[in-house]
Amino acid sequence: MHKSMLAGFIIDCQTDDLDGAAKFWGGALGLELHKLDDPEERDYTHLLDPQHGLHIEVQRVTHPSRVHLDIQTDDIEAEVARLEELGARRVAKIKRWWVMESPTGQRFCVVRASSPDFATKATTWK
């Protein structure tokens, strides 16, 4: 058995100006920007959401701009297999997560659980 739940939303921006994109989305959503110090995270800016506790970030990408959601889980392979049974397909493994595609073409990611309330809010799957 494993658990999974919605982690949040990622705003993919095909841009050379990630700071400008993050300022726009932070202002539009009323969320504070949080830049990460890790050089491996230079293509990401977190938008802090204390009201709902969702993970929201602006991400620099090379594909066309879009918004996608992340599903967090304590067992990535089990969750990917469960989603494949529902009709999703694997697109690519990136670092520590899978990019998936729904039967209707929307992309989403399956990522490792990280929210502090994951254990109490996540759904258990067999």
Superfamily the domain 2-125 falls into: 2,3-Dihydroxybiphenyl 1,2-Dioxygenase, domain 1 (3.10.180.10)
Please name which of 113, 94, 123 lies closest in space to residue 12, comparing C-alpha atoms. Answer: 94
Q: Is 57 exposed, middle or buried (0-12, 13-18, 19+ CB in 10 A)?
A: buried
Could you tell me the pTM of the whole model?
0.83
Domain ranges of the chain: 2-125
Dist CA 25 CA 2 (whole Å): 33
Q: 10-37: per-residue pLDDT in tens? A: 999 999 999 999 999 999 898 999 988 8
Q: 44-94: per-residue pLDDT in tens? A: 999 998 887 888 999 999 999 999 999 999 999 999 999 999 999 999 999
